[in-house]
Structure formats: C-alpha cells, structure tokens
Amino acid sequence: MKDEKLIEVKNLKTYYINKKGLFKKKLDIVKAVDGVSFFIKRGESYCVVGESGSGKTTLGRSIINLIPITEGKILFNGDNIYEIKKEEKKKIRRKMQVVFQDPFSSLNPRKTIGSLLIEPLLFHKLMNKKEAKEKAMNILEKVGLKIDSFYKYPHEFSGGQRQRIGIARALILEPEFILLDEPVSSLDVSIQAQILNLLKKLQKDFNLTYLFIAHNLNVVRFFGDRVAVMYNGKFVEEGEVKKIFEKPEHPYTKKLLSAIPQIK
C-alpha cells in the first residue's frame, strides 16, 4: 500500500564503549547513533547523508541487526526485530538484505559466484540445488551479467561487475528491504550512473524499499525520495529531497550543499 510504513525507527541509540588507560578502567562512550527516530515508506528510497563519522553507517547496520543497539525500537512490518522469537527473526533477516560499499571484500575469493548465490537459498532450505542454480542464473541476468558468470570467481570481474554481483546476492532471497551502504562510492563516475539506474529499475521490478547511506549529495539528489542529514549521531534535518536541496534550513545542511562542485 502507498504510504505504508515498512520500517519505523523509534529513539534509536547505538553507543560504543572504549576502555582506556593502563588498566582499561576508564570508559569512553562514543554515541554513534544518539536518539534517532524516522520511518521508511514501502517502495521508497530513503537516504541518510553525512560526513565520515556522522553515524550513518552504524545507523544502517543497527537497523538490519548487524550490530547490537543500546536503546530504542526498530519495527519491520510492525514487529520489533529485537524482541521477536528466534525463528521469526530468521524470517525477517531474509527480508532485510544489504549491499556493501566494497563488493570485493564482501565476496569470498575462494568461491565461485554461483556458490555464493545459491548458498543462502540452500541454508534457508527454500529449494533444491538445481532450482537454486536456475534462480541464481536468472538473477545474474537481471543485474546485467552473463549466465557464465555463475562459474567464475570474484577476481575475474571489474569493480562495477562485482557490485552487480553484490546486488544479485542481496536479491536472491527476495527481500522487501535493502540497505545500500555507500554502494557506488568506490566506483568510477560513469559506472556509478549505471549501478544507480540498475537499482532504480530493480526497485520497480521487485517492489523494493531502500535505505541509501551516502556522503555524495549529487547521488542523493538523483536517487532519493526523502533524505535525512546526519551529524554527530543525530538527524539535524529531514524532508523531501527536492525541498532539502532548494530550501535547506540547518547550517550543517547548507555547509554540505555549498561543498558540492558546481559546473560552470
């Protein structure tokens, strides 16, 4: 349904505790995410933008349960993912996937692309090996790769192709929600556009909802529906992408926008 909330985050806090000193008795608390609340509507691209150290990556990984939270609630289809039973959590994990910034480091170099893709299907006992192979080949085509990619290894692909493999791996379990953690920041500008256009097409084809983590505002302007600006673990401004770019209100947002290179 249009405007239905798929993800709802309530007063999320994720703190890191570093022990300092000779006897590690002094505690240094880093408030990576400090009381953030927002929601993501089904089918939209919600962006979080900020400089390095703003807390945006920690926020994304907290939402998909990759790192433990300190306080707050994360609702997926109305269920608090940190309170549900183990079996239910396993089902939700299938529906929440991630595409990382560096595709090469997230792909096991000793495994073929085919084995990397069918592994989660077999782990969750969703189909037999033959069916999994057929599905993997179909997904490879969907992300713009040849079927024979199934038999190759990660080092045989370019950076852009490896990111397509990362997207294929995220799609294989038919998720509803995908965290895109700086998915194009390590790619050449020409390849960035190809990957962003692919993600937009897949969003329509598979009815996907995205949380897009970024530091590049030009990418956000092209890709996002709504955007939150993050600074020191907090949201300082949030709204429709067009509104934020045309009428920013917070000084930090204005500073980020003023740093965008202008074409003369």
User: CA-CA distance, 256 to 249, in Å (whole number)?
Assistant: 12
User: CA-CA distance, 162 to 154, in Å (whole number)?
Assistant: 7
Q: Are 91 and 140 in contact (CB under 8 A)?
A: no
Using only C-alpha atoms, the chain has a radius of gyration, in whole angstroms, of 19
pTM confidence score: 0.92
- pLDDT given for residue 107 in this prediction: 84
- pLDDT given for residue 89 in this prediction: 82
181: left (phi over 0), alpha (psi -120 to 50) or beta: beta
- pLDDT given for residue 225 in this prediction: 97
User: CA-CA distance, 92 to 87, in Å (whole number)?
Assistant: 9
- The SS3 of residue 32 is strand
- pLDDT given for residue 21 in this prediction: 64
Instruction: Evaluate whether residue 242 is within a structural domain.
Output: yes
The CA-based dihedral angle spanning residues 174, 176, 181, 185, taken in that order and rounded to the nearest 10 degrees: 70
Q: What's the gap between Cα 43 and its chain centre? A: 14
- pLDDT given for residue 264 in this prediction: 41
- pLDDT given for residue 2 in this prediction: 55
Please list the rounded mean pLDDT of every run of 10 residues in the chain (264 residues).
Answer: 84 88 72 96 96 93 93 94 84 91 82 95 92 97 96 94 95 96 89 95 96 92 95 96 94 89 52
Token code pair at residue 76: 């997926």
- pLDDT given for residue 31 in this prediction: 93
Q: Which residues pair with 47 in a beta bridge?
A: 212, 227
- pLDDT given for residue 239 in this prediction: 96
3 burial level (CB within 10 Å; 0-12, 13-18, 19+): exposed
Residue in 126, 29, 106 with CA at minimum distance from that of residue 66: 106
Residue in 180, 190, 183 with CA at minimum distance from that of residue 162: 183
- pLDDT given for residue 60 in this prediction: 96
Instruction: Evaluate whether residue 210 is within a structural domain.
Output: yes
- pLDDT given for residue 263 in this prediction: 46
Q: Are 165 and 113 in contact (CB under 8 A)?
A: yes
Contact partners, residue 66, CB within 8 Å, separation at least 6? 98
- pLDDT given for residue 129 in this prediction: 94
Instruction: Evaluate whether residue 263 is within a structural domain.
Output: no
Domain tally, the chain? 1
- pLDDT given for residue 261 in this prediction: 65
Instruction: Evaluate whether residue 154 is within a structural domain.
Output: yes
- pLDDT given for residue 262 in this prediction: 58
Residue written as tokens 């096991």? 108
- pLDDT given for residue 186 in this prediction: 84
- CA 110 to each of CA 65, 101, 140, 176, 180: distance values in angstroms, whole numbers, following the listed order: 27, 20, 19, 29, 25
- pLDDT given for residue 83 in this prediction: 87
Contact partners, residue 189, CB within 8 Å, separation at least 6? none
Q: What's the gap between Cα 216 and its chain centre? A: 15
Q: In this structure, what DSSP letter does residue 1 have?
A: -
Instruction: Evaluate whether residue 137 is within a structural domain.
Output: yes
Q: What is the CATH number of the domain that holds 13?
A: 3.40.50.300
Q: Are 195 and 163 in contact (CB under 8 A)?
A: yes
Domain limits at 27?
Answer: 5-258
Task: Report the 10 Å Cβ neighbour count for 234.
Answer: 16
Instruction: Evaluate whether residue 264 is within a structural domain.
Output: no
